[in-house]
């Protein structure tokens, strides 16, 4: 995964979800976005990262969903 891809995904997540991803999370980003890459037919994560600004809303939402932890335990008590 290219450094500019990590930066592009980090900027996208900061803008869309208010989540700041650090550079040491590359393994997590790759693991979680692998399914998104396959689902939407991208050749590589770098291609997905490059297309994020102009991607369809469905692709952008899939990236946000993949990179967020959806835990509701905090709200149950």
Cβ neighbours around 33 below 10 Å, total: 21
Domain assignment present for 47? yes
Domain assignment present for 75? no
Count of all residues that appear for the chain in the document: 77
Q: Residue with structure tokens 């102009």?
A: 54
Which residues constitute the domain of residue 48?
3-67
- What is the predicted pLDDT for the residue at 42? 96
| Residues 46/1, Cβ–Cβ less than 8 Å | yes
Number of domains observed in the structure of the chain:
1
pLDDT digits (tens, 9 = 90+) for 21-71: 887 889 999 999 999 999 999 999 999 999 999 988 999 999 999 999 877
Q: What pTM value is reported for the model?
A: 0.85
* Tokens at 28, concatenated: 């997590």
Indicate the pLDDT class of residue 77, thresholds 50, 70 and 90.
low
- What is the predicted pLDDT for the residue at 73? 65
Find the CATH number of the domain harbouring 29: 1.10.155.10
């Amino acid at each position: 995964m290219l450094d500019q891809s990590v930066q592009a995904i980090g900027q996208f997540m900061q803008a869309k979800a208010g989540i700041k991803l650090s550079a040491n999370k590359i393994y997590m980003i790759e693991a979680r976005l692998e399914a998104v890459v396959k689902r939407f037919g991208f050749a590589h994560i770098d291609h997905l990262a490059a297309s994020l600004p102009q991607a369809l809303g469905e692709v952008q939402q899939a990236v946000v969903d993949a990179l967020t932890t959806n835990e509701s335990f905090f709200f149950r008590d």
